A and B are shown apart, each in its own frame.
Chain A
Amino acid sequence: MSLLRSISDGLRSLFRKEQVNEELDEELNGFLEMAAEEKMKQGMSRKDALRAVRLERGTLEITKEVVRSAGWESSLETLWQDLRFATRMLGKNPGFTAAAVLAIALGVGINVGIFSVLNGAALRLLPIPRAEEVVSIDQIFHGRVTRNAHNGPSMFSYSEYLDYRDHNHVFSGLLAYEPFVEATLGGGTMRGLSGALATCNYFDVLGEHPVQGRGFLESDCATPGGNAVVVISDDLWRGTFASDPSLVGKRIILNRTAYIVVGIAPPGFKGTEPIPSSFWAPITMQKALDPWSDRIADDNLSWLALLGRVQRGTTMEQVRGDLAVIAGRIDQLHPGRTTSLAVRTATFFNRQMEREILTPVVSVILAAFGLVLLVACANVANLLLARASVRQKEIALRLSIGASRWRLVRQLLTESLLLSLTGGALGSLLAFWSFTSITRLIISHLPHEAATLIVNVAPDFRVLAYALGLTVFTGIAFGLIPALQSSRQDLNTALKEDGIQRSGGREGGRFLRSALVGTQVAVCTILLLATGLLLRGLYYAQTLDPGFEMKGVATMFLNLGQQGYTEKRGTAFMASLQQRISGLPGVVEVAHAECAPLSHDFSADAFTVSGRVEKIGIEYNHVSPEYFSVVGIPIVRGRGFRPGETHDSPGVVVTESTARRLWPDEDPLAKTLRESSGREYSVIGVARDAQVAHLGDAHTTYLYFPAGTPDNLRAYVLVRYAGDFPATAKAIRDVVQSLDAETPADVIKLEDYLEVWRMPSRIVAALSGALGALALLLASIGVYGVVSYSVSRRVHEIGVRMALGADGSEIMNLVLRQAMRPVLVGGLVGVAGCAAVSQVLSGMLFCLSAHDPVAFISVPLFLLAVALLASYVPARGALRVDPMVALRYE
């Protein structure tokens, strides 16, 4: 009630100001008159009476001010006044305003843009109905763990899923699915697809019901392998099946099994992973899609992601508590193991492992973009500081007629907030508008596998909140220091025109400006130096010798096991394939291996040297006898493999580094090595070191075993050719087709794997290069501004010096020396900072030397040159000073 009255009274005095003022006037006047009349009755003259009253009770104007500022509406009114004044002030200096707004728009814009991308990728909820109810569950094991992982270590086995599904009291539905299931679409158009195996409540729990046909029924998941039905994505239906209206009910072939299409997912639904899903099959069809592995039966395999829809009115704590009970019960079956569950509202990145990678990467990116904003802020702060000293007189005047310092700071902050809000709004608008198309452009340039990432960069409340927060922070960050600085001054000197230019009080201002320039230069140095290091790394990668012959080798990955081959058929297939490819014109030699060099396919085991206890983790490969000559790795001691040697043979080939590490100063030949299963191998040969597993790392331990029958079901075929690549690739594909028309054959150059290794460096280099260029632009504007300002303020001093006989070069020296001091300090700080950053980077990116001398010398020199130019241009203005004019200036 009283709050309402207070508001309505306040509003009344805001909007009917005249009337309220008149009333207050009349009431106060009446009060003073009456007091005066009283005095006059005691015999005072009217004049004396009024004077006495004023002394006793206060004057009319001050009282009015006191009464008026007591209500809440007065602070609103002040704000309004400040805003109007700020708008006028900014309007009066369009050049300054435009420069400041642009700098802020740029800084805020790119930050909001990158945040909306990250938000779209990692923070946004799934695009499904009532997504806030859907949670993801991850399990993290502690203690004694022997667990196999198919996709991620924090995923669930099928029996665990059933346990959680049947015994929880918090979900209206709990689903499980295996993401990233590869399948080959057969029947004329052969295509590799990525899809998911899902429990049959999948579409019901997510609330995404197919528009055509149906989702899964409980009966679809009743018998293992029994129901070959599939729901396909809208994209697949429109693309590959040309929107065939009668597709539902027809059969499609996936990995040689026919599935009936029972439904087409709603447009826009692409699954719940960042890589879109093209099809969904019942989880019971797992073995049909991958005949060589039976995941449903394996209770100790992590392969399923879990999503649950929480019942209405159930809190997250209740969910966690309820699920923890089930986890505790499962743990009792595994002595020594405890499981903690991570339950969070589901997004596109849920799994513990993904988040552990994502968080540092995102922080580094946000920090880099934040640095550019920092440079922009420093620029605007510098502009404001420069302007504040022009407004010195105005501020001094306000202080001297009674404005409080807080009142002045508030008014100056209003101005800077108005600036930052204008800039922020402009920048955000630009970001929303441009980042959608920029993201699309970048994604289309990524390699094929990543090309279909789902990223929705459209702004939502989180992005808007970020933009607003950032803008307000910016406004205060660049506004506060100048405001505090300029409201603290010596009135006497400031009011004298002369005082402005010579007063010692301005030393503080100059130091601040120098510090700001130094910061800018430091940030610039870090960003550009990082770019320089990355470019050097890329150059090194381009010219690097991986220790094997990469050129002239074609490679093709065959997963015959997934295509339903038995070992016998697979072996026959591979034998005739190798024989027929060898007979092709232009083909020099053919080999196959478990992993192709640099293909991101790794196998490793723990080995022990006989006579010792320590276990050493070593990566290995199974290769056919021709492998070493096809990829050009010479055997330096002993021999390679002979035809007929298989998994059962006792021989192993080690690399030089391995030999040195395991048997230093001994002859490695005939030494024995035991694998974790207890089986022993003896060394028959030593191969030269090569970077076959990890680029940029030649001196790791590595073993070669002879290829055997299992390798025929999943192998990389490597072909050394002498002719041109397209013809060879086509010939190889034709051979595969003629042997089995249903087996997909994708032939690429071995060098193409290199690109995947280089890409992260390339992206980071491009990013930090662009940011560095932006920062450099802003910083040089900053240097330019500061120097030209200081020259213009020192016209008088320069005039005196010239009149006393200083010549042009001396003046130039003076100005430049002063301008370059903060640049040099900032540059040094930047170099030191980058040395720290590059330590971190070199761990993340390959071929990056943390202390590359070329980068560390050339980048700072380049920066120095730019800064020198930026100060030279305005410094020339100092030379044109005419001593006569300068001395008459005041």
Chain B
Amino acid sequence: MHGYCIAVRLEQMSQGVFRLNAGSLFVAVQRLQRDGLIRGEWKATENSRRAKYYALTEKGQKRLNSETREWGRQVAAIARILEA
């Protein structure tokens, strides 16, 4: 998925809550790339434009899983606290 695609997908999925500007997005992408969690590759888009496509690496996938679990735990905990 290339940069714009990521931004649009995040926006759609969050139903407009997360609207990323280019600065935040690409700083994050650069950091993830340097940490070896994603890798980028230049490819042609469907509109025959060149764009850099990013994909999770194996390490990134593992990290995503663990972070998701952790996030789930925290959100559940906070929810429980708020409900109580």
Q: Assess the B7–A31 pair: CB atoms within 8 A.
A: yes
In the assembled complex, the Cα of A438 lies from the Cα of B27 at a distance in Å of: 59
Given known A-B contacts A30-B50, A33-B49, A70 and B19 have beta carbons under 8 A apart = no
Q: Is B26 close to A, CB under 8 A?
A: yes
Choose from A6, A30, A62 the contact partner of B3 (Cβ within 8 Å). Answer: A30
Known A67-B27, A70-B27: A28·B22 in contact at CB below 8 Å: yes
Quick check: is B72 within 8 A (CB to CB) of the other chain? Answer: no
> Chain A residue with minimal CB distance to B20?
A57
Q: Are A58 and B50 in contact (CB under 8 A)?
A: no
List B residues 5-64 near A (Cβ within 8 Å): 7-8, 19-23, 25-27, 30-31, 33-36, 45, 47, 49-52
CB pair B22 A31 closer than 8 Å: yes
Contact with B21, one of A5, A27, A57 (Cβ below 8 angstroms): A57
Is the CB–CB distance between B30 and A34 below 8 Å?
A: no
User: How far apart are the CA atoms of A856 and B31 in the complex, in Å?
Assistant: 68
Chain B residues whose C-beta falls within 8 Å of the C-beta of A804 in the assembled complex: none
- Cβ B22 vs Cβ A57 within 8 A: yes
Residues of A within 8 A of B35 (CB): 2, 5-6
**Which among B2, B22, B26 has the greatest number of chain A C-beta atoms within 10 A?**
B22
Chain A residues within 8 Å of B20, by CB: 57
**Bound complex: CA A189 to CA B34 (Å):** 80
- Give A62's nearest chain B residue, CB to CB: B23
Cα-based distance from A124 to B22 in the complex (angstroms)? 60
A5 touches B36 (CB 8 A): yes
Q: A27-B52, A66-B27 are in contact. Are A32 and B22 (CB under 8 A)?
A: yes
| Given contacts A30-B4, A31-B3, A33-B49, A67 and B33 within 8 Å (CB-CB) | no
Contacts of A1 in B (CB 8 A): 36
Select one of B3, B7, B34, B45 contacting A27, CB under 8 A. B3
User: Known: A6-B34, A9-B33, A33-B49. Contact between A58 and B23, CB under 8 A?
Assistant: yes
By a CB distance below 8 angstroms, the chain A residues around B49 are 30, 33-34
- Residue A71 CB within 8 A of the other chain: yes
| Cα A876 to Cα B36 with chains together (Å) | 70
- Contact between A27 and B27 (Cβ–Cβ < 8 Å)? no
Inter-subunit contact B50/A9 (CB<8 Å): no
Q: Is the CB of B31 within 8 A of A70?
A: yes
A23 and chain B: residue at smallest CB distance: B52
- Residues of chain B within 8 A (CB-CB) of A31 are 3-4, 7, 22, 25-26
CA distance in complex: A56, B11 (Å):
13
Is A63 part of the contact surface with B, judged by Cβ < 8 Å? yes
- Whether a CB of chain B sits under 8 angstroms from the CB of A35 is yes
Q: Considering the chains assembled together, what is the distance between the CA atoms of A2 and B32 in angstroms?
A: 10
The listed residue (A9, A58, A70) touching B22 by CB distance below 8 A is A58
Would you list which residues of chain A between 1 and 54 have a CB under 8 Å from chain B? Answer: 1-2, 5-6, 9, 23-24, 26-28, 30-35, 37-38
**Shortest distance between the CB of A106 and any CB in chain B (Å):** 47
Of all chain B residues, the one with the shortest Cβ separation from A71 is B30
Which of B2, B19, B21, B27 has a CB less than 8 Å from the CB of A30? B2
Task: Known contacts A1-B36, A2-B36, A6-B35; decide if A67 and B51 are in contact (CB<8 Å).
Answer: no
CA distance A70 to B22 in the complex (A): 13
- For A32, what are the chain B residues with a Cβ–Cβ distance below 8 Å? 22
Residue among B7, B21, B35, B50 facing the most chain A CB atoms (10 A cut-off): B21
Q: A2-B36, A34-B4, A67-B30 given as contacts; is B50 within 8 A of A26 (CB)?
A: yes
Which residues of the other chain, A, contact B25 by a CB distance below 8 angstroms? Answer: 31
Question: Within the assembled complex, what's the spacing in Å between the Cα atoms of A5 and B30?
Answer: 11
How near does chain B come to A27, taking the closest CB pair, in angstroms?
A: 5
- Whole-angstrom distance from the CB of B20 to the nearest CB of chain A? 8
Residue of A nearest to B8 (CB): A38
Residues of B within 8 A of A66 (CB): 23, 26-27
User: Is B34 touching A5 in the complex (CB atoms < 8 A)?
Assistant: yes
B34 & A56 in contact (Cβ 8 Å cutoff): no
Asked whether B30 lies within 8 Å of A35 as measured between CB atoms, the reply is: no
A356 to B37, CA, bound (A): 61
Q: Shortest CB–CB separation between residue A35 and chain B, in angstroms?
A: 6
Min distance, Cβ B41 to any Cβ of chain A, angstroms: 12
Q: Which residues of A contact B19 (CB under 8 A)?
A: 56
Residues A30 and B51 in contact, CB atoms below 8 Å apart: yes
**Minimal beta-carbon separation of B6 from chain A (angstroms):** 10
Cβ of A824 to closest chain B Cβ, rounded Å: 58
CB distance from B29 to the nearest CB of A (A): 9
Min distance, Cβ B2 to any Cβ of chain A, angstroms = 7
The residue on B at minimum CB distance from A55 is: B21
Nearest-CB distance from A649 to chain B (Å)? Answer: 97
Output the residue of B19, B30, B47, B50 with the most chain A CB within 10 A. Answer: B30
Closest Cβ of chain A: how far from B55's Cβ, in Å?
15
Partner of B34, one of A2, A38, A57: A2
A33 and chain B: residue at smallest CB distance? B49
- Complex-state Cα separation, A27 to B27, whole angstroms: 13
Chain B residues lying within 8 Å of A35, measured Cβ to Cβ, are 4, 7
- Chain B residue with the shortest CB-CB distance to A69: B27
Instruction: Return the chain A residue nearest B27 by Cβ.
Output: A70
Q: State the CA gap A592–B31 with chains docked (Å).
A: 91
Contact of B23 among A23, A30, A37, A67 (CB under 8 A): A67
B42–chain A nearest beta-carbon distance, Å: 8
Task: Find the B residue at minimum CB distance from A32.
Answer: B22
Within 8 A of B (CB), among A290-336: none
Known A-B contacts A1-B36, A2-B35, A9-B34; A63 and B26 likewise in contact (beta carbons under 8 Å): yes
Residue of B nearest to A66 (CB): B23
Question: How many Å lie between the Cα of A37 and that of B8 in the bound state?
Answer: 13
Chain B neighbourhood of A38, CB < 8 A? 8
Q: Which residues of A contact B36 (CB under 8 A)?
A: 1-2, 5
Assembly CA distance A31 to B52 (angstroms): 10
Give the distance to chain A from B52, nearest Cβ to Cβ, in Å: 5
Residue of A nearest to B23 (CB): A66
> How far does the alpha carbon of A37 sit from the alpha carbon of B31 in the complex, in Å?
28
**Alpha-carbon distance between A2 and B34 when the two chains are bound, in angstroms:** 6
B12: min CB distance to chain A, Å: 12
Cβ of B64 to closest chain A Cβ, rounded Å: 15
Interface contact B34-A63, CB-CB below 8 Å: no
B5: shortest Cβ distance to chain A, in Å?
A: 8
Q: Which residue of A lies closest to B40 (CB)?
A: A27
Chain B residues whose C-beta falls within 8 Å of the C-beta of A28 in the assembled complex: 22, 26
What is the minimal beta-carbon distance from B62 to any residue of chain A, in angstroms? 13
CB-CB < 8 A to A26: which residues of B?
Answer: 50
Q: Is B22 in contact with A63, judged by CB distance below 8 angstroms?
A: yes
| Contact partners of B33 in chain A: CB under 8 A | 9
Neighbouring B residues of A37 by C-beta, 8 Å: 47
Across the interface, which residues of A come within 8 angstroms of B31, CB to CB? 70
Q: Find the A residue at minimum CB distance from B19.
A: A56
Chain B residues near A33 (CB, 8 Å)?
Answer: 49
A33 to chain B, nearest CB (A): 7
A6 nearest CB neighbor, chain B only: B34
Cβ < 8 Å to B, chain A residues 52-107: 56-58, 62-63, 66-67, 70-71
Minimal Cβ-Cβ distance residue in B for A28? B22
How distant is the Cα of A30 from the Cα of B44 in the complex, in angstroms? 11
Bound complex: CA A256 to CA B4 (Å) = 102
Bound form: Cα–Cα A23–B51 in Å: 10
**Chain B residues proximal to chain A, CB less than 8 Å:** 2-4, 7-8, 19-23, 25-27, 30-31, 33-36, 45, 47, 49-52
The 3 A-B residue pairs with the shortest CB-CB distance, nearest first, are: A66-B23, A34-B4, A6-B34
**7 contacting pairs across A/B (C-beta < 8 A):** A6-B35, A27-B3, A32-B22, A34-B4, A37-B47, A67-B30, A70-B30
Besides A6-B34, A27-B52, A37-B47, 12 new A-B residue pairs in contact (Cβ under 8 A), listed by A number: A1-B36, A2-B36, A5-B36, A9-B33, A27-B3, A27-B51, A31-B3, A31-B22, A33-B49, A57-B21, A57-B22, A58-B23
